Structure 1
Amino acid sequence: MKTNNVKHRIGVLLLILILPLSVSAQIDSLTVTKNRDSVAVKKAASKTEESDRNVMLNAANNSGPRDVNIGLPATVGGITILENDLPVVYYFWPELPNKTWRQSVSLKNTGLLKMEDLANSMGDLGFAVNSYTQNGTKDFHVKGNLSGSHFGWFKGDLNVSGPMTKNGWTYSAGAFVNFDPSTYDLGFNDYVDQTKVFRAGVTKYFKDDKGEINIFYKYADSYVNTNYAVFEYGPNGEASEIDGFEIGRDSYFLRSGNVRFQDIVSGDYYYGAFDGDDNTNTSHNIDVFGNYKMDNGWNFKYSTRLHLANSNSLYGVPLSIFSVDAADGYTIQSTGEAYTGNVGTQLALNSRDIPTTTIMGRFSINKQIKNHNITFGILEQYYNVDKYNSNRSLYFQTVEDQPQLLVGSATDEYGFYGYNSSAEYFNGSENKLSVYGSDDWKVSDKFNVKYGLMLRSHLVNGDYSQTPRSVGFTLADAELTDIDHSFFHIAGNINANYNITKNFGVLANFLYTEENGKLESYSSPISPSVVKSRSPLAGAGVFWNTKYFSLVSQATYLTKNNYLTRYNLVNPANDTETQQTTIFYDIQTLGWTTDMMITPFKGFNLHYLITLQDPVYKDFTFDAFGQNYDYSDKTVLEISKVLMEIDPSYTIDKWRFWASFRYFSEQYANINNALYFAPRWENFGGINYQYNNHVSFGATVVNFLNQTGAKGTINGAELINDASQYYGRLLTGSYIRPFTVQLSANFNF
């Protein structure tokens, strides 16, 4: 790796020291673009993270937490996940976070990290789930969870901890196993999600409560498949089920589970298996973390990690559906039988045995000095990916539950075509060295300020190929181009609130992050833009706290420039013609949110949130199939302009009854805004029973209103201008889970 350019690092700590100090808000300041989970608007919100039940409720699957909407497109990897103050993966591709992390009893606690604190501590925009490994305990403890569903899901989760010696050494060990068939039958495998995570380690507690050191190992083995639904699209954004395919209950995976690829490294042809090693990720993780309380009152906190992963991923992405008759000459590949009817075009992507190495460390000191709670820290992140490549192929399949492979005029005898016409490759390393500081400042009984600053050096080194991806592309055809960049980033925040009266006041906040290119930006032959992407967010509002309710209402403005995305476009004039296009664009979001927690009588509380927002594309232009397209000022895909959450709960004696309703107004399903999905509700409900201090039981119902329908984007429809031509057509998309009953038993001794 090239020698680091350190000129921006000199004097960084000095700059932090002279910044105007800040915060300790009396209430949670909420961004208008935040799809808030069921959390009370607390009167003391100086904490950087919150316990948050609903962020872990995912309406799509059980494999990870939900995305928290901020008015920008969600990443493929979803919400950022931290463990012991470090990201569980450096970047979500090729290793998704849910392949190495799951909510578990082997985590001591889990909370939602606020946007301002993620910006200040990581330099990133958005929210994060922060979790901490269950370390060794001075007394023997065993805790566990058993969960299942009426579809056959089983999750077993166990952690044991206790003392080892009399001089402060303790241990902790845990096992998490998940066997989830989801709500449909793949045909080629019993499970859609099969994941195992094992942790073990030791903790040494220092005398006089001076601190601790933890040394932990984690092993993860996971494969996860992602299903799609086939539906008939109609007026008013309605998605209707078709005969022979039940949304959420049927599989749109190729029946055999095998897809033929050409390896871009060796040039050899092979079959990738959805249920095998070609779709399984393994990782080894060593964490050393803890703290030490120094004699001068400063608390030194540290967390380091070595993460080694071998990433394999296999995806089938639906592109379009068209109809054929006998004259078109399609046959079923396995039998040679002539086929007439609906045909689905699929894009398959496979990355095999991609080694990644991540080394990270965070070191900070913290102290309460009069009215200031001050933190200074250093964060180092090194990441290496060895010759990332993604093989691609296209194929046709029947449109039914567990589709069959078809042979057509465009395919070879095996039923595949277009090998590596959009293949990806890059190689190299990234290094981020950051210094940061923050302060919670109680200026007076009425005025609180919180602020922080991060300065980061980001180095990107490696190589990629600018060679066009023609059919049959391999690295033997590639001419490699060096990647050598050094970027400097600033991120920070300032939040303030002022009590006009004892219970009523005003608040304001500003958040700012920067980023440039990353290795993943170089995966296609198109040289990416590395213009600095800036993301300022500003908000102002009011808060009001009484005995019976707490309220925050705030307006927010957010922009982000130089956004990058890649589309697998389908030619509107020819459903069999596809093109991968890289687009750089900006996004602007204006909005207003009101968040309220109501407690009218003992045992009952109601959380209510409503968000009104208008996220739009800016400078969104590109060329495809010989035409120029301009989608500036179109509403951003998959993001509702109206979001609402209603979360009632009631506790009496040992029982707790709760529900969670999430409303999403219409969501555009193609970038031209011609197609959209009708408004929908996601809903959960449950009962918890605390048998005694050690044992509890729970029952949760997902989608208890038994809604059906699709959500997300309509694959292959990005360039459609006239929605009416799609009425009555068969399309594909993602969906919410059908009615599901889940039971759990918890114990803690």
Structure 2
Amino acid sequence: MLHSEAKIYNMRRNYIKIFSVLTFALGFSSLHAQEEEMTVQDSIQVQQEIKDEDIADEESNRNVMLNAESNTGPREVNIGLPPSIGGITILENDLPVVYWFWPEMSTGTWRQSVGLERTGLLKMDGLANTMGDLGYAVNSYTQIGTKEFQGKAKISGSHFGWFQGDINVSGPISENGWSYSAGAFVNFDPSTYDLGFNEYVDQTQIYRAGLTKHFKENKGDITFAYKYSNSYSLTNYAIFEYGPNGEARELDYFSIGTDSYLPRDGRLKFLDLVSGDNYWADMDGQSATSEAHNFDIFGNYQMDNGWNFKYSTRLHIAEASLMYSAPISIFTPGAGSNFTFANTGEEYTGQVGTQLAMNSPRIPTTTAMGRFSVEKQIGNHNVTLGVLEQYYKAEDYHSNRSFFFQSVEPQPRRLIGANTDADGFYNYNVGGEYNNGFENKLSVYGSDSWKVSDRFKLDYGLHLRYHKMKGDHYTTPRGPGLVLDPANRQSFDHDWVHIAGKLNATYNILNNFGVMSNFLYTEENGLLGDYSGAPYPNLTKSRSPLAGFGIFWNTDYIQLVSQATYLTKNNYLQRFNLVNPNNDTESVTNTVYYDIQTIGWTTDFVLSPFKGFNLHYLITLQDPVYKEFNFSAFGENYDYNDNSVQQISKVLMEIDPSYTYKDWRLWASFRYFSKQYANLTNALYFAARWETFGGVNYKLNDNVSFGATVVNFLNQRGAKGTINGAELITDPSPYYGRLLTGSYIRPFTVQASVNINF
């Protein structure tokens, strides 16, 4: 994935709109300790749900904790849209860890940890019904106080110098039901490359403390929990040579995954959109650090009438900073161009990289949430009724922008050119962002899992939401040197009502064979972030219907699901940083609204031919295409209707074998992605690739276990995502041999961990 301005803008509205052709829902078993948390084998639980006659809320299909790009968070479950830079939605105690990932990323305040009692993957219909959003979500629950002392610790590291320490203790305080829980998580990750200006790429600390009251007669419990997080994180890129057949050739002087393409000194200059002050920001400090305080009250109470009352509330106060140096293009200077090194004044004669610098400095955000529900088994019905409240306020959010040139080499140096200032920067605040205001979402929802007969089951639900959004913004064009004038501030005030729902049906034709169908629907109009740019946003209601039909088959040796799906989504927002195909020094930011349509077919099975051996296999065939996609730029009209969606493979496979013998477990995970189109015209693409993982786990005794994992054991190279500056290119041949930038999977990496229970 390329983290260019276009890429970042692309995904903002879609953090809570994730949806996929993989719509059959499968049940999630608890993740194992240490490495097994990351290597849990995909297993289809739809069939098990049918046999057990108990619809689960979570699913064990998707080894989401295996991330080929970094250690910071779960991977993105494949979707029918380009992957979200915000990552997969993450919930803790049934509430989002952040309301909106910009400017505070989810992984800044949440990591997989022994401080979590359990972690699972919330299936799509569960998210649609309870949150009114469409997609998959990682769901996790804080470790509460325990009636007996319990200690858990985990130490992890890699041969690149990564260190992670994680500990949690819990136990009783008094005999009247009070108990405690406390934990600490620290992460020091240099990743696989040398920044030059800082030792670590990710430095994250999370501390937890909680008090739990257990009610008498096992009626339930209530927990008061506090969490503090402080997270510093950066993103790297690679240089490569583009070739025929989508090749990304590694250069002799730049190693993909082990060299850094971030500025050598880590210093970037900005003009503050609000204050008008020029300032320098260091990529090794607070400019890339977010800090948050989290207060939760959650638990449940079993009422005398049989209803189980569940509740979860949160106050989240944060100061979030984001900082990026994102590549735009690489070009060969023309005759007469004079570039010099900013730090020495010496002449530079090589190729030049154009960079976009972005900084959102210490943005205050406040979030208050509450979710309350009651559930009860009534005859053949399992009924849930709930209320969800979400309030979010961002105070003077602004993203300062500047552009600069740098040398094309590992740890590049900043350059001064004819159009830059004395420090090498230009076009301050072109594309800058600002918004201020709040959102409030109040929802009521209900669901029912109804066993109609021994063979037929229905699962249905409805979610009704009132969405209030109010604030102010600027329609001032984001020209060079912009400082916002408060006299030009404009207000907005919106009220919407949204509907979401689910309807799933399963019918057993035979005891172990049957058919299944499902339908999901969500809608929304907009988010506060839509007002960040100068153009007034298109707030037409966006509707996302998704339907599927398939079969399932279960025996003692195989569990199989095969399903076809269809989805559409209208009014999809993307902001492109377009480069003129006839003049690569001319660029413009364009806001485009369009639709997407996807037809897919997925087959997923788990094979267990003999004791100890398990093989999971998944294949997806899909065809996501653009609809109503047209815009104007550089005096030309462009129409990309029916073109394939960028960054989406049409063929996906996952192959996950594992073998367990006594206290040993050997496992591997292979993911295949067919070619991915890298620009709007579909003229450029990246070749197919594999992501590979493997490992071994050994349980020494009930208290100590070990794990070793190898990431990218085939040592794959290459790139993925989009090609910056090439969105409008129709002839790929001029790009053969050109230097491009992109993101990548980690190089061959050996990781190890020790889990201790005491």
TM-score by structure 1 length? 0.95
- Does the aligned pair in 2 maintain the 1:185–1:250 contact within 8 Å? yes
Q: Write out the 4+ residue segments of structure 1 that deviate beyond 4 Å after TM superposition.
A: none
2:444 is matched with which residue? 435
After superposition, what is the alpha-carbon deviation per residue over 1:539-568, rounded to whole angstroms, capped at 9, x for unaligned? Answer: 001000011000000000011100011111
Equivalence map 1:649-728=2 (5 Å): 649-728=658-737
Equivalence map 1:455-534=2 (5 Å): 455-476=464-485, 479-534=488-543
- Does the aligned pair in 1 maintain the 2:616–2:655 contact within 8 Å? yes
2:223 is matched with which residue? 214
Which residue type is aligned with residue 194 of structure 1? Q
CA distance in 1, matches of 2:499, 2:27: 22
CA distance in 2, matches of 1:234, 1:48: 46
Q: SS at the partner of 1:297? A: coil
Point out the more displaced range, 606-615 or 70-79.
Answer: 70-79
Q: CA deviation at 1:314?
A: 0.5
Q: SS at the partner of 1:116? A: helix
Which residue type is aligned with residue 264 of structure 2? R
After superposition, what is the alpha-carbon deviation per residue over 1:152-188, rounded to whole angstroms, capped at 9, x for unaligned? Answer: 0000000010001110000000100000000000000
Relative to structure 1, is the Cα distance of residues 112 and 29 closer, same or farther in structure 2, using a 3 angstrom cutoff?
closer
Q: SS at the partner of 1:328? A: coil
2:318 is matched with which residue? 309
CA distance in 2, matches of 1:39, 1:102: 21
- Does the aligned pair in 2 maintain the 1:217–1:285 contact within 8 Å? yes
Equivalence map 1:101-250=2 (5 Å): 101-250=110-259
Q: CA deviation at 1:464?
A: 0.6
1:44 is matched with which residue? 48
- Does the aligned pair in 2 maintain the 1:325–1:341 contact within 8 Å? no
Point out the more displaced range, 153-162 or 479-488.
Answer: 479-488
Relative to structure 1, is the Cα distance of residues 569 and 284 closer, same or farther in structure 2, using a 3 angstrom cutoff?
same
- Does the aligned pair in 2 maintain the 1:29–1:507 contact within 8 Å? no
- Does the aligned pair in 2 maintain the 1:240–1:709 contact within 8 Å? yes
CA distance in 2, matches of 1:328, 1:320: 17
Among 397, 421, 430, the alignment partner of 1:421 is 430
After superposition, what is the alpha-carbon deviation per residue over 1:443-500, rounded to whole angstroms, capped at 9, x for unaligned? Answer: 1111111011100000110011001111111122761111111011000100011011
2:385 is matched with which residue? 376
1:557 is matched with which residue? 566
1:452 is matched with which residue? 461
CA distance in 2, matches of 1:481, 1:696: 59
CA distance in 2, matches of 1:29, 1:635: 31
CA distance in 1, matches of 2:285, 2:433: 22
Q: CA deviation at 1:73?
A: 2.3
Q: CA deviation at 1:26?
A: 12
CA distance in 2, matches of 1:495, 1:701: 39
2:97 is matched with which residue? 88
User: Is residue 348 from structure 1 mapped to residue 357 from structure 2 by the alignment?
Assistant: yes
Q: CA deviation at 1:29?
A: 9.0
CA distance in 2, matches of 1:95, 1:716: 27
CA distance in 2, matches of 1:246, 1:581: 33
After superposition, what is the alpha-carbon deviation per residue over 1:559-589, rounded to whole angstroms, capped at 9, x for unaligned? Answer: 1100011111222222222211111110000
Relative to structure 1, is the Cα distance of residues 478 and 712 closer, same or farther in structure 2, using a 3 angstrom cutoff?
farther
Relative to structure 1, is the Cα distance of residues 247 and 458 closer, same or farther in structure 2, using a 3 angstrom cutoff?
same
CA distance in 1, matches of 2:408, 2:655: 38
CA distance in 2, matches of 1:29, 1:141: 28
- Does the aligned pair in 2 maintain the 1:713–1:734 contact within 8 Å? no
After superposition, what is the alpha-carbon deviation per residue over 1:266-324, rounded to whole angstroms, capped at 9, x for unaligned? Answer: 11111111111011000000000000000000000000000000011110110100012
- Does the aligned pair in 1 maintain the 2:26–2:123 contact within 8 Å? no
Q: CA deviation at 1:726?
A: 0.2
After superposition, what is the alpha-carbon deviation per residue over 1:573-614, rounded to whole angstroms, capped at 9, x for unaligned? Answer: 222222111111100000100000000000000000000000
Among 55, 63, 70, the alignment partner of 2:79 is 70
CA distance in 2, matches of 1:52, 1:655: 23
2:348 is matched with which residue? 339
Among 644, 655, 664, the alignment partner of 1:646 is 655
- Does the aligned pair in 2 maintain the 1:146–1:157 contact within 8 Å? yes
Which residue type is aligned with residue 28 of structure 1? L
Among 26, 29, 46, the alignment partner of 1:28 is 26
Among 568, 571, 577, the alignment partner of 2:577 is 568
Q: SS at the partner of 1:406? A: strand
Q: SS at the partner of 2:727? A: coil
Q: CA deviation at 1:727?
A: 0.3
1:283 is matched with which residue? 292
- Does the aligned pair in 1 maintain the 2:353–2:405 contact within 8 Å? yes
TM-score by structure 2 length? 0.94
Point out the more displaced range, 554-563 or 474-483.
Answer: 474-483
Q: Alignment length, in residue pairs?
A: 720
Gaps of 5+ in 1: 1-24, 31-35
2:407 is matched with which residue? 398
- Does the aligned pair in 2 maintain the 1:386–1:427 contact within 8 Å? yes
CA distance in 2, matches of 1:328, 1:172: 63
Which residue type is aligned with residue 312 of structure 1? S
Q: SS at the partner of 1:735? A: coil
CA distance in 1, matches of 2:63, 2:519: 26
1:538 is matched with which residue? 547
1:16 is matched with which residue? none
Q: CA deviation at 1:673?
A: 1.0
Gaps of 5+ in 2: 1-22, 29-38, 50-54
2:36 is matched with which residue? none
- Does the aligned pair in 1 maintain the 2:581–2:728 contact within 8 Å? yes
Which residue type is aligned with residue 77 of structure 1? G
2:16 is matched with which residue? none
CA distance in 2, matches of 1:300, 1:565: 41
CA distance in 2, matches of 1:184, 1:52: 32
Q: SS at the partner of 1:484? A: strand
- Does the aligned pair in 2 maintain the 1:354–1:385 contact within 8 Å? yes
Q: SS at the partner of 2:543? A: strand
Q: SS at the partner of 1:520? A: helix
- Does the aligned pair in 1 maintain the 2:402–2:425 contact within 8 Å? yes
CA RMSD in angstroms, aligned pairs only: 1.5
Which residue type is aligned with residue 624 of structure 1? A
Q: SS at the partner of 1:118? A: helix
Q: CA deviation at 1:53?
A: 6.8
Q: SS at the partner of 2:593? A: strand
Q: CA deviation at 1:63?
A: 0.5
Equivalence map 1:593-608=2 (5 Å): 593-608=602-617
